[in-house]
Amino acid sequence: MLYESMLLIAIAAAAILLFLLLFGDATHAPKRYFLQVYLWLIFGVYFVWCWRKSGQTLAMQTWRIKLVSRTGQPVSATQAYKRYVLASLFFGAGFLWAFFDREGLFLHDRLTGGRLIVVDKET
């Protein structure tokens, strides 16, 4: 998560710069709320695009982790969108679910039919 956070900070910086150039100061409502939703959408585009393209974000590639469907196939666009939305809604609690899940799945993966696998070095 640390690697992913560092990358998201860079993405957020670029996205915030663009937002501020287009709309100006965003320290007060309603622009502040628009900025928050805008960032949530930008992060969603990043995650969904990576999961659909290769099943991996850049941080997941570093740790050789890949998101696949329960059948081992790439996740569908619907699964990727739902996974992002559910992971966001649970505010991290979905990760704690894995400690109690019989298969070690995150709650958002349990609900969307996905799972994380370890990729061999040769792959």
pLDDT value at position 86?
94
Distances (CA, A) of 28 to 12, 24, 35, 64, 118: 18, 11, 10, 41, 44
pLDDT value at position 123?
55
Asked if residue 96 belongs to a domain, the reply is yes
pLDDT value at position 90?
78
- Identify residue 96 by its one-letter amino acid code: L
Residues 50-99 have pLDDT tens digits of 999 999 999 999 999 999 999 999 999 999 999 999 999 977 788 888 99
Asked if residue 113 belongs to a domain, the reply is yes
Total domains present in the chain: 1
Asked if residue 123 belongs to a domain, the reply is no
Residue 108: which domain range?
2-118
Asked if residue 21 belongs to a domain, the reply is yes
pTM of the predicted structure, to 2 decimals:
0.90
Asked if residue 26 belongs to a domain, the reply is yes
Tell me if residue 116 falls in helix, strand or coil: strand
Reference 50, options 24, 25, 81, 72; nearest CA is 81
